[in-house]
Structure formats: C-alpha cells, structure tokens
Structure 1
Amino acid sequence: MDLHYVVQGNGEPIVFLDSGGADLRDWEFIAPSLAKSYRCIAYDGRGAGQSPSPIEFGDYVEDLKNLLDFLDIDNTVLVGHSIGGRIATDFALTYPQRVSKLVLIGPGLTGYQFSPELVQRFEEIQSVAPNVEKMAQLSLELPSYQVVMTSPQRDRMVEMTKHNTLRGLEWQHLWKNLQVWGELPAIPPLNELRVKTLFIIGTQDSEDCFRIADLFKQVPDIRFAHIEGADHMPTLTHSLEVSSIIREFLGESKL
C-alpha cells in the first residue's frame, strides 16, 4: 500500500478521510481523542500530504477499499470531511457491507452543481497557477474559511493549504484540459444509503454545503448536528465538540 497513513489506538476501526486541500493533519485534534477507545486510521489521499501523486486519474473509492484490504479491515466507521465525505458516501453506497456507521462533516456530493459564485472562485484560483501563494490566498479568502482564518489555527490552515496546493500542481497535467465544469455525473441515490449516518455542519459553512445537507435528508437513517460559530473547518476550530458529537453517535456519552 503506497498511501501514507497513521494508526492510533485499538478497538473498533474508524477511518478518516480529509478535506480537499488538506491532508491527515485535518484530524490531528480529533483522532487522538477517539483513539482512547477506537483504532483510528487517518490517511493522505492520493496526491495530498505524503501520499504519491497519481499517474492517471484514480478511483478514490477503490483506493479506500485497497487500504482497508491491506489493513485487514472488513467493516469500519467512516468519517469524511468535505471531499472526504463525498468519497465516504460513494464508498458506503458501493460497499455497504463494509461500513458500520458513516460520519460526514460538511461533505461534498458527487454530481452536485456548485453555485456560479463558487465556480467562478475556483476558476480564479486555477487562473493564477502555478503561483502557490496566490492560489492559497484566494482559496482561504472564501467565506467558508472566515472562522478558521481568524482562529489560533490560522497558520496551520495556511501551511496545509500551501503544501497541498503545491502537491496538486505536481499532477496538474492530468486535469489541466479536463472539462471540470462540463456535464456532471448523476447525484447518487441517497435514499438507498442504508448505513446509519451522522451529518455535522458548522453554522457558518457555505450555502452550497447547506444545499447538500438538504439533499441528504433523503437518507433513511440520518441525524444532523449543527456546530454554532463553526465554518467549513470545525475539525480544527471546534475539535472537542466534533469529537464529542462523534463519540455520542458511536454510542459513548463521555469523552
């Protein structure tokens, strides 16, 4: 297995999938808390953190399956943040027998059409490539990062964003000519998601994330938790609250 991963603790496994532009540092305040009772596995997705860049466009669902196979994990809790939540959802729909519970934090969603304003900002970010400093600056000026950028975690967020923006440029040739905003795949049938699901969202997250939350109301067994005053990065700014909500969802009431 060539993906970089870190394991902490023992017990029922929890696998963490980080946000886009981030890496397993997304979980550095969450995983240690949950590792008191669980076997916590955080990994860097292909092309991020310390994992190798893809040679061709890969299948992130199959990457996760291969990691679970490598670690001899037949069934696990998945905790996915942002794009990691999108991957975790797709995995749970593809391999439902391998997911015991699903925790989504401000997740993305396959097939979701982002608002024109956000599409324009993404295009502005790509237009200044390969200027990593400017790309990171434009990314972190998004309203959904206003809380983390005025928090004690600001420097950590800036460093992580710069690192993974630079990593993304390593495999820019794969997506340079891709019609990113062309025809989207269909939104998956969320009403067929049978695993018990927890959806966590900060009250200061983007309108797009709240629209995605509305779509997830189709899931038969889902609960929603709102974190007051958090933006798209509650894993960094509200880690104790996130950990407590996850722990309660998994059946424990105490930290």
Structure 2
Amino acid sequence: MTLSYDHVAGDGPAVVLLHAGVCDRRMWDPQWPALSAAGYRLVRCDLRGFGATPAPDRPHNDAEDVRDLLDALGIERAVLVASSFGGRVALEVAARWPERVGSMVLLSPAVDGHEPSAALRAFGAREDELLEAGDVAAAVELNVDTWVGPEADETTRDAVHRMQRHAFDVQLAVTEEFGRIRHEADLSAVTAPTVVLSGAHDVADFRLMAAELPGRLKDARHVELPWAGHLPSMERPAEVTDLLLGLLREAAPAGA
C-alpha cells in the first residue's frame, strides 16, 4: 500500500515530516514553504487512516510503511521530523534501520513501553466511551481540548478539529478493523543524533517521555518550550519553523 504524500524533489538533504495522531500531514503546512525554500528535499505523508490515506485493509506496521515510501522515492537517508505518534514511528524507523536516519527532531514524541498515567488512561476511556456512543463530535472536542496548547489561536484549533474529525470518520467507516504489527523500538540501536522538544503545558505523560529520552538514546538532548502544549509546530508556527531551520542547518545543512 502506498501512503498519500507530498514531495519536493531536489538535491538537498531529505527531510521527512511525520504527523501527530490527532492530525495528518496538513499539520506541517506552516513549515512546508520555509523548509522547501531553504533547499531541503521534503516529504510528508499521511499514515494509514489519516488524511488522504485510507484506513488499513490488513495488519500493518507504520514504520515499514515509511521505509517503503523512502524506498519508492529513492531516498537512502533522511532527517526525520516527527510529532507525537509520528515520533513513535520515527523512533522505530531509526531503531530498525539506523543507517537510513541521519538525525531526528522529535516534538512531544510518544515512546513505546511507556506506562500511561491514570489521567491518560481516563482520557482514553472517555474517548472510547464517546465513540462507542456515536458522539464523534464530543470525541473530537475532547481531543482538541486535551492536545491543543494555550498559545493556539482559533484557526489552529479549527485545523486540529478538522483533521481529527476526518481521521475518526475514515477509521470508523471501516467494517473490519486491522491492528498494527508492533515492533517495540530497541532504543539502544538508534544512532541518529536527536533533539527532543516538549511543551511545559503538555500532558504530563508526554513531558516525562520527552525528558527521559536523552537517557535512553546514544546522542540526544531535550529542550522544553515553556509556552507550548502538545503541538508546538501549530501553536507558534513561525517560532518553531525558525527553530527547525536552525536545527536542520546544524544537523544537515542544505548545499553542503
């Protein structure tokens, strides 16, 4: 299966953008023009069941889907920039195929093996309850209220609302659900230098996962953004774009 994606061809370093589970590839709209203008070969995709990619029709593995997309585009090595659930996918790609990942920037990443707090379990239970009752609108509002930080304006909240509603509609429309094939990432195998960004206003579980990652990776550092919630690239897009450009120029300068 081919993931739906956008691709800016060129000779610059390849940068792959992986979206959060509450969004799709449109979450990177604010960063896309600036990163392209800086000379990077950009790829952003919708994982299965998000955006323009259909829901799974068989058991699947998201990391393998990303690897297959890189293969199809002839990209041997890339920088991964990933948000939330996309961060979990990026870590798996970097662990299973370390030679394919030059460096990573992870924004509020999910990490395999994390034991969710009572608060996060309560969120999941409430989401399940609303969806089982057919109240998709309330489930969307629950996600927007939980994952969008205080710096986001109404335009950003509306964008997350549309992406989450679309994902629910796609995923709930299938008559048969197919699970993910899980390969828990062996973080000791990750060789890519990594910068982990988190938000001081994020859900506590994600702040903890971000803070702990440098102790589990060979070459990583953690930066907490004091203003951010769970989706900093959407909450203060211009500031995060500048931050990403600085990190990319450090890790994989275009034109080098």
User: Is TM > 0.5 for Structure 1 vs Structure 2?
Assistant: yes
AA matched with 2:172: L
Mapped pair 1:140 → 2:141: no
Mapped pair 1:110 → 2:112: yes
TM-score, normalising length: structure 1: 0.88
Percent of counterpart pairs with the same letter? 27
Residues of 1 paired with 2:149 and 2:198: CA distance? Answer: 15
Is the contact between residue 111 and residue 186 of structure 1 (CA under 8 Å) also seen in structure 2? no
Is the contact between residue 151 and residue 236 of structure 2 (CA under 8 Å) also seen in structure 1? no
Q: Which has the higher contact order (CA 8 A, sep 6+)?
A: 2
C-alpha displacement at 1:151, in angstroms?
4.4
Mapped pair 1:157 → 2:155: no
SS of structure 1 residue aligned to 2:177: helix
Unpaired runs of 5+ residues, structure 1, are: none
Residues of 2 paired with 1:9 and 1:55: CA distance? Answer: 30
Q: What residue in structure 1 maps to residue 8 of structure 2?
A: 8
Is the contact between residue 149 and residue 157 of structure 1 (CA under 8 Å) also seen in structure 2? no
AA matched with 1:213: A
Is the contact between residue 199 and residue 225 of structure 1 (CA under 8 Å) also seen in structure 2? yes
In the superposition, relative to structure 1, how do residues 45 and 193 fare at CA in structure 2: closer, same or farther (>3 Å)? same
Q: What residue in structure 2 maps to residue 97 of structure 1?
A: 99
Residues of 1 paired with 2:4 and 2:203: CA distance? Answer: 30
C-alpha displacement at 1:215, in angstroms?
2.3
Q: What residue in structure 1 maps to residue 73 of structure 2?
A: 71
In the superposition, relative to structure 1, how do residues 186 and 95 fare at CA in structure 2: closer, same or farther (>3 Å)? closer
C-alpha displacement at 1:203, in angstroms?
1.8
Is the contact between residue 125 and residue 138 of structure 1 (CA under 8 Å) also seen in structure 2? yes
Residues of 1 paired with 2:138 and 2:54: CA distance? Answer: 24
C-alpha displacement at 1:214, in angstroms?
2.8
Give the aligned length.
246
SS of structure 2 residue aligned to 1:217: helix
RMSD: 2.4
Mapped pair 1:170 → 2:176: no
> After superposition, where does 1:29-48 map in structure 2 within 5 Å?
29-36=30-37, 37-48=39-50
Is the contact between residue 110 and residue 186 of structure 1 (CA under 8 Å) also seen in structure 2? no
Is the contact between residue 148 and residue 233 of structure 1 (CA under 8 Å) also seen in structure 2? no
Is the contact between residue 201 and residue 227 of structure 1 (CA under 8 Å) also seen in structure 2? yes
CA deviation digits over 1:75-95, x for unaligned, max 9?
Answer: 111111000000000100000
CA deviation digits over 1:83-122, x for unaligned, max 9?
Answer: 0000000100000000111110000011211111111111
Residues of 2 paired with 1:18 and 1:59: CA distance? Answer: 15
